[in-house]
């Protein structure tokens, strides 16, 4: 059986982090499971965790005025879900909807955030990693916006 | 006055429409058979025909059928203007003129014994479908087959039943994504590059074949390189204005290449310096 | 296939004639030239030669030597062309006008085929061509021979063969004339295409004017040319005649004031896609396409479908086209080259650089027509120099 520690340490996102900090994360980590159709978090809620998805599919949704959700992106195995816990106002910007039976490791973002404030070296390492994730998402989102398949 | 001799490459040959299939609200597949049976329909995956509508005009259309089915020519056409609209509104029994096939094909020989990655965007799946047919028909000659396909929205997906059937083949992966999911789509949402991390293949022994809008091909090739494929193992199918398809009208030139006769399939190594140039 | 070759001086293959250079030249008088023309007409050739019309030297069918532009010369400059009277009666005392032999070999308008509806299908009509008289081109300059060879390579010697060009080309007899003077816009010497003529023609003439009268040095360039020469009376050339001819050709070369330095020209153009000079030329270029129409090597065409009022009869026509037009590069979504800058850059890069990769030689033969017939006087030799020097000249 895979231990939490091994999964976290081997995940590309955590590569290069000193074992002290991985240990810290493991200490605040837990296996979680979401039933298909359930919401992991909702827009506007306090953001205190982030998730390392192990299996399943999570749809990031935004609600249109008509009340029906628009899926803007889906995340699957290996993806990191959520970074709103890292930056003020620490509130979720989208709904995270488990569209399949989803297993993940929940990590205590609030705890990690506090540690980052105290230890700026750790803070820099964490921000660097999240900056990379954000940059890739931004790039992908911009390409989605381009609507390359549209007839002009 | 000019003479049109039988083997004149500018002479068109009547083909009858046998079947019209509506794939999406604006895209139709036409199946044609030569009227006199005299002109063969053999082609290599990646080649195209110049398809002519009586009195309207002709345009280049990729052949998207199975090369082994030699009695017919299959074209998947998206209606984006007057000429393509004239094509998709043809009915069974009417005749179209066909010239060709023209162009080089996808590098199936180079792909033997290796993993094959097919990356298609929108209508770009049409010229790649013959590759998938070939690889699945000669499964032992190739390694893993990975098909990554992105479309605008779920209702713009082509060949849905076939996509599901292909996924069931041995050592074959078919991953689909859309830019806009809509309400009932439970599948992946995001640009096609987001599928790469799920592709199971050996980059050091793979050949990638990419077709779609040029912007899409630019970011896909970047992603393929980031995953370890070399520029000589990534192939693109390019598109430009064509009037003759035989290297004489000059319209399809792209840098030093005539897309009709030097292409339409090119190695990324050849295309990279050109793709970066605006208004080339 | 894309072929890489260096420079404009790569050997051009002439497929229509064999060099018969060992034969001694002969001399024709002006009236004997007239007999040559008549001999050609008797053999069934339509003789096409320079004539004067509308203030320019244009190619047209001639019946006798009297139809040639005796005593005319031209003065050319960027955006300027004038005919002036000479003080002698030279028949070829000018250079090249707005037309080139592509007018006949690669015609501006030609019907590819016709079709008619038959029920739900259609039938291509039997398009037997009327047998056309073969043509004899009289007065082909060195640059023009080079241009014909360039078009031979494009239209006959690549992956496909153009049957229209082929039929007109193989029947054509080429009677060349060596230039003994150059216009201000000529630069064939720097392109390695002239003014001397080595091979490619069936007969080569050099006009000699002097105390011995109005004569032509003539030598055969092929077996066909040699046979023709046997039919007319000539006198053997003297050494003085040969010297005068060579001096004339040298003088033509000496008179050239323009040149393109073709060393590394392919790289120069490929590597300067973003050079500020392109904006400079774009500010002047009207994208009028004159240059492509007068250029003897430009070959781009388009196809047009026409049908009659009933819609039952359709024809496919091929017409000259130009990369300068707005829709030349149109694909769904719009044209790729929308700006005039992109279109000028495409034309010049293709002509001087890409052509080398595509066909093994330069596409430019140094005839200077594009300079003369550009309404705003854009000078391709000047543009190359500006790219090399990295300059951005003020308005000329």
- pLDDT, position A2: 61
pLDDT for A68 beyond 70? no
* Residues C292-296, mean pLDDT to the nearest whole number: 98
Q: Is the pLDDT of residue C32 over 50?
A: yes
Structure tokens at C227: 């046979």
Smallest CA–CA distance, residue B36 to chain A, in Å, is 36
Closest CB from B151, B182, B188 relative to A149: B151
Q: Best residue in B126, B186, B190 to probe A by mutation, most A CBs within 10 Å? A: B190
Residue C219's beta-bridge partner residues?
Answer: C204
Nearest residue in B to C336, CA atom: B279
Judged by CB atoms closer than 8 Å, whether chains meet at C111 and B1 is answered as yes
Residue of chain A with shortest Cα separation from C335: A152
Q: How far is B229 from chain C (nearest CA, A)?
A: 25
The pTM of the full predicted model, rounded to 2 decimals, is: 0.87
Q: Determine the pLDDT at residue B72.
A: 94
| C334 inside 8 A of chain A by CB | yes
CB contact burial A137-147 (16+ within 10 A = b; e otherwise): beebeebbeee
* Boundary (domain end) residue, out of C232, C254, C276: C254
User: What are the tens digits of pLDDT across the range B128-179?
Assistant: 999 999 999 999 999 999 999 999 999 999 999 999 999 999 999 999 999 9
Q: Tell me how far apart the alpha carbons of residues B80 and B122 are, in angstroms, rounded to a whole number.
A: 13
Q: Are residues C201 and C332 in the same domain?
A: no
Cross-chain Cβ contact B239/C155 below 8 Å: no
CB within 8 Å of B34: residues ≥ 6 apart: B13, B14, B15, B40, B41, B73, B98
CA distance A151 to chain C (A): 7
Report DSSP state, residue C354.
Answer: I
Residue in B189, B196, B217, B227 to test binding to A, most A beta-carbons within 10 Å: B189
Chains that touch B (3 or more CB pairs under 8 A): A, C
Token pair listed for C200 = 């490619």
Res. A125 pLDDT band, cuts 50 70 90: confident
pLDDT band at A66 (very low <50, low <70, confident <90, very high): low
State residue B104's pLDDT score.
96
Q: Going along A2-115, which residue ranges are E strands?
A: 30-34, 39-41, 49-55, 58-63, 69-75, 80-81, 95-98, 102-108
C-chain residues within 8 Å CB-CB of B27? none
User: Span A47-58, mean pLDDT?
Assistant: 93
- Do C304 and C319 touch, CB atoms closer than 8 A? yes
Closest C-alpha to B9, from B76, B95, B103, B88: B103
Closest Cα in chain B, distance from residue C1 (Å): 6
Phi–psi pair at C366, nearest 5 degrees: 75, 25
From C333's Cα to the closest Cα of chain A, the distance in A is 5
Domain that holds residue C91: 26-254
pLDDT in tens, C272-284: 999 999 999 999 9
Query: Is residue C75 domain-resident?
Result: yes
Does some domain include residue C358?
Answer: yes
Whether B240 contacts chain C with CB within 8 A: yes
Chain A residue with minimal CA distance to B79?
A151
What is the tens place of the pLDDT at every residue in C102-153? 999 999 999 999 999 999 999 999 666 667 889 999 999 999 999 999 999 9
Is C124's CB within 8 Å of B4's CB?
yes
* CA pair distance C323, C293, nearest whole angstrom: 11
Residue A143 to residue B193, Cβ atoms within 8 A: yes
Q: Do B1 and C130 touch (CB under 8 A)?
A: yes
pLDDT tens per residue, range B75-110: 999 999 889 999 999 999 999 999 999 999 999 999
Strand C135-140 versus strand C121-124 pairing type: unpaired
Percent of chain C's residues with pLDDT above 70: 91
B196's CB contacts (< 8 A; 6+ apart) are B148, B223, B224, B227
CA dihedral B153, B154, B155, B156 (to 10 degrees): 60
Distance of CA A139 to the CA centre of its chain: 17
Contacts of C334 in chain A (CB under 8 A): 152
- Check whether the bond before C131 is cis (ω within 30° of 0): no
CB of B82 less than 8 A from some CB of C: no
Here the tokens at position B83 are 């000429």
Domain count, chain C: 2
The reported pLDDT for the residue numbered C126 is 67
**Residues facing residue B151 across a β-bridge:** B178
C210 C-beta neighbours (distance < 10 Å), count: 11
Chain-chain contact of C127 with B93 (C-beta, under 8 angstroms): no
Residues C56 and C115 in one domain: yes
Kindly state whether B255 is in contact with chain C, defined as any CB-CB distance less than 8 angstroms: yes
**A31-35, B36-40, B128-132: range with lowest mean pLDDT:** B36-40
Q: Which CATH number fits domain B108-275: 3.40.190.10, 3.40.50.80, 3.30.60.50, 3.40.109.10?
A: 3.40.50.80
Are B142 and B111 in contact by the 8 Å Cβ rule? The answer is yes
Partner-chain contact B191 A78, CB within 8 Å: no
Please answer yes or no on whether B193 and A70 come within 8 Å at the CB atom: no
- Chain A residues in contact with C333 by the CB 8 A cut-off are 151-152
Round to whole Å and give the CA distance between A114 and A104: 23
Position B5 scores a pLDDT of 47
Same domain assignment for residues C308 and C216:
no
Q: B176, B188 in Cβ contact below 8 A? A: yes
**C21 lies in some domain:** no
Closest CA to B13 of B30, B29, B31, B37: B37
Q: Residue B179: list chain A partners with CB under 8 A.
A: 144, 147-149
Q: Is the pLDDT of residue C161 over 50?
A: yes
Domain ranges for chain A: 4-146
Count how many residues are written for chain A: 152
What chains are in contact with A, requiring at least 3 Cβ pairs below 8 Å? B, C
Can you give the pLDDT at residue B267?
A: 98
Q: Which chain C residues contact residue B250 at CB under 8 A? A: 299-301, 321, 323
C250 within a domain of the structure (yes/no): yes
Q: Do C160 and B54 touch (CB under 8 A)?
A: no
A132 vs C341 pLDDT, higher one: C341
Give the C-alpha separation, B152 to B192, whole Å: 10
Residue B193 sits at the chain A interface (C-beta within 8 Å)? yes
In a domain, C295, yes or no: yes
CATH class of A4-146: mainly beta
A152 CB neighbours in chain C (<8 A) are 332-334
Residue C12 domain-assigned (yes or no): no
Question: What integer is the mean pLDDT of A18-30?
Answer: 79
Q: What percent of chain C has pLDDT over 90?
A: 84
Sort out which chain B residues have CB atoms less than 8 A from C330's CB and list them: 241
Q: Which of A133-137, B135-139, C93-97 has the lowest mean pLDDT?
A: A133-137
The pLDDT of residue A56 is 95
pLDDT at residue C89 in the model: 95
**Contact between chains at A151 and C334 (C-beta distance less than 8 A):** no
**Which residue would you say has higher pLDDT here, C373 or B183?**
C373
Q: How many residue pairs from chains A and B have C-beta atoms closer than 8 A?
A: 64
Q: C188 by DSSP, 3-state: which?
A: helix
A10: pLDDT confidence band, cut at 50, 70 and 90?
confident
C237 and C286, same domain (yes or no): no
**Facing B249 at nearest CB: one of C122, C130, C302:** C302
Cβ of residue C331 closer than 8 Å to a chain A Cβ: no
Place of tokens 């549209």: A150
Residues C98 and C240 in one domain: yes
Query: What is the nearest CA distance from B51 to chain C, expressed in angstroms?
Result: 13
The residues of chain B that CATH labels 2.40.30.10 are 13-102
Output the pLDDT for position C128: 65
Query: Do C174 and C117 share a domain, yes or no?
Result: yes
Give the model's confidence band at B40: pLDDT under 50 very low, under 70 low, under 90 confident, else very high.
low
Residue C394 lies inside a defined structural domain of this protein: no
Map tokens 């069931």 to a residue: B168
Rounded to 5 degrees, φ, ψ at B4 are: -100, 110
B92 Cβ partners below 8 Å, 6+ apart?
B17, B18, B19, B20
Residue B10 sits at the chain C interface (C-beta within 8 Å): yes
Mutant choice from A149, A151, A152 vs B, greatest count of B C-beta within 10 A: A149
| Of the partner residues B189, B198, B215, the one whose CB lies closest to the CB of residue A73 | B189
**Is cis: bond before B221, omega within 30 of 0?**
no
Position C13 confidence tier, pLDDT thresholds 50, 70, 90: very low
Q: How many residues does chain B have?
A: 280
Rg of chain B over all Cα atoms, to the nearest angstrom: 18
Q: Where are the beta strands (DSSP E) in C63-147?
A: 72-77, 80-85, 109-118, 121-124, 135-140
Same structural domain for residues C244 and C113? yes
Nearest CA in chain B to C304: B57
Which chains lie within 8 Å of chain C at 3 or more CB pairs, if any? A, B
Do C214 and C330 belong to one domain? no
How many Å is the Cα radius of gyration of chain C? 22
Mean pLDDT of the region C287-291: 98
**CB–CB contact A71 B189 (8 Å):** yes
Query: What's the CATH superfamily of B13-102?
Result: Translation factors (2.40.30.10)
Q: Which residues of B touch C117 (CB under 8 A)?
A: 54
Q: Is C211 inside any structural domain?
A: yes
Nearest CA in chain A to C334: A152
**B244 in C contact zone (CB under 8 Å):** yes
Task: Please check whether residue B155 touches A, CB under 8 A.
Answer: no
């Amino acid at each position: 059986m895979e231990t939490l520690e091994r999964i976290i340490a081997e995940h590309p996102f955590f590569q290069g982090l000193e074992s002290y900090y991985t240990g810290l994360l493991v200490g605040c980590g837990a296996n979680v499971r979401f039933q298909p159709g359930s919401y992991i978090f909702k827009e506007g809620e306090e953001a205190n965790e982030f998730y390392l998805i192990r299996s399943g599919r999570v749809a990031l949704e935004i609600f249109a005025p008509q009340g029906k959700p628009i899926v803007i992106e889906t995340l699957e195995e290996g993806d990191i879900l959520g970074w709103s816990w890292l930056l003020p106002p620490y509130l979720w910007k989208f709904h995270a909807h488990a569209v399949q039976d989803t297993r993940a490791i929940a990590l205590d973002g609030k705890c990690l955030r506090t540690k980052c404030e105290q230890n700026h070296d750790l803070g820099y390492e964490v921000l660097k990693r999240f900056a990379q994730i954000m940059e890739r998402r931004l790039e992908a989102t911009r390409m989605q916006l381009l609507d390359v398949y549209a007839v002009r | 006055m000019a003479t049109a001799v039988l083997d004149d490459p500018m002479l068109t040959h009547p083909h009858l429409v046998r079947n019209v299939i509506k794939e999406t609200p604006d895209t139709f597949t036409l199946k044609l058979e030569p009227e006199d049976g005299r002109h063969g329909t053999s082609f290599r995956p990646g080649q195209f025909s110049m398809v002519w509508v009586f009195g309207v005009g002709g345009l280049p259309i990729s052949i998207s059928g199975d090369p082994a089915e030699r009695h017919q020519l299959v074209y998947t056409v998206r209606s984006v203007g007057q000429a393509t609209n004239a094509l998709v509104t043809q009915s069974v029994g009417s005749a179209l003129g066909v010239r060709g096939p023209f162009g080089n094909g996808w590098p199936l020989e180079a792909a033997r014994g290796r993993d094959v990655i097919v990356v298609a965007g929108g209508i770009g799946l049409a010229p790649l479908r013959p590759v998938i047919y070939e690889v699945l028909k000669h499964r032992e000659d190739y390694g893993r087959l990975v098909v990554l396909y992105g479309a605008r929205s779920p209702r713009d997906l082509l060949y849905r039943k076939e996509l599901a059937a292909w996924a069931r083949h041995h050592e074959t992966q078919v991953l689909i994504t859309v830019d806009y999911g809509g309400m009932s789509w439970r599948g992946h949402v995001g640009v096609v590059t987001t599928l790469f991390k799920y592709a199971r293949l050996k980059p050091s022994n793979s050949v990638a074949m990419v077709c779609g809008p040029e912007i899409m091909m630019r970011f896909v090739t970047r992603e393929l390189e980031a995953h370890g494929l070399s520029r000589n193992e990534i192939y693109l199918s390019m598109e430009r204005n064509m009037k003759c398809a035989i290297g004489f009208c000059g319209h399809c030139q792209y840098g030093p290449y005539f897309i009709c006769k030097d292409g339409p399939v090119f190695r990324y190594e050849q295309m990279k310096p050109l793709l970066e140039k605006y208004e080339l | 296939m894309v072929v890489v070759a260096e420079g404009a001086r790569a050997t051009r293959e002439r497929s229509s004639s064999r060099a018969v250079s060992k034969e001694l030249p002969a001399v024709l008088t002006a009236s004997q030239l007239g007999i040559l023309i008549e001999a050609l007409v008797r053999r069934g050739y339509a003789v096409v030669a320079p004539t004067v019309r509308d203030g320019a030297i244009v190619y047209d069918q001639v019946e006798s030597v009297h139809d040639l532009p005796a005593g005319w010369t031209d003065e050319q400059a960027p955006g300027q062309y004038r005919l002036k009277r000479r003080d002698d009666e030279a028949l070829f005392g000018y250079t090249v006008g707005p037309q080139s032999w592509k007018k006949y070999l690669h015609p501006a308008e030609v019907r590819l085929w016709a079709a008619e509806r038959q029920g739900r299908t259609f039938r291509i009509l039997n398009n037997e061509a009327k047998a056309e008289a073969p043509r004899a081109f009289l007065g082909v300059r060195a640059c023009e021979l080079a241009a014909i060879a360039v078009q031979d390579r494009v239209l006959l010697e690549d992956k496909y063969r153009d049957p229209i060009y082929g039929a007109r080309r193989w029947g054509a007899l080429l009677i060349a004339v060596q230039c003994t003077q150059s216009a201000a816009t000529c630069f064939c010497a720097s392109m390695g295409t002239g003014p001397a003529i080595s091979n490619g023609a069936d007969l080569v003439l050099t006009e000699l004017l002097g105390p011995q009268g109005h004569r032509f040095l003539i030598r055969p360039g092929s077996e066909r040319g040699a046979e023709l020469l046997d039919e007319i009376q000539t006198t053997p050339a003297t050494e003085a005649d040969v010297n005068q001819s060579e001096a004339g050709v040298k003088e033509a070369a000496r008179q050239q004031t323009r040149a393109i330095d073709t060393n590394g020209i392919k790289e120069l153009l490929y590597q300067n896609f973003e050079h500020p000079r392109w904006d400079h030329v774009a500010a002047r270029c009207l994208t009028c396409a004159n240059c492509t129409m007068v250029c003897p090597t430009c070959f781009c065409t388009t196809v047009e479908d026409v049908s009659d009022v009933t819609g039952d009869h359709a024809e496919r026509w091929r017409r000259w086209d130009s990369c300068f037009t707005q829709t030349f590069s149109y694909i769904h979504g719009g044209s790729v080259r929308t700006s005039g800058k992109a279109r000028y850059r495409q034309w010049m890069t293709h002509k001087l650089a890409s052509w080398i990769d595509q066909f093994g030689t330069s596409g430019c033969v140094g005839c200077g027509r594009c300079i003369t017939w550009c309404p705003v006087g854009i000078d391709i030799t000047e543009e190359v120099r500006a790219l090399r020097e990295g300059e951005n000249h003020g308005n000329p």
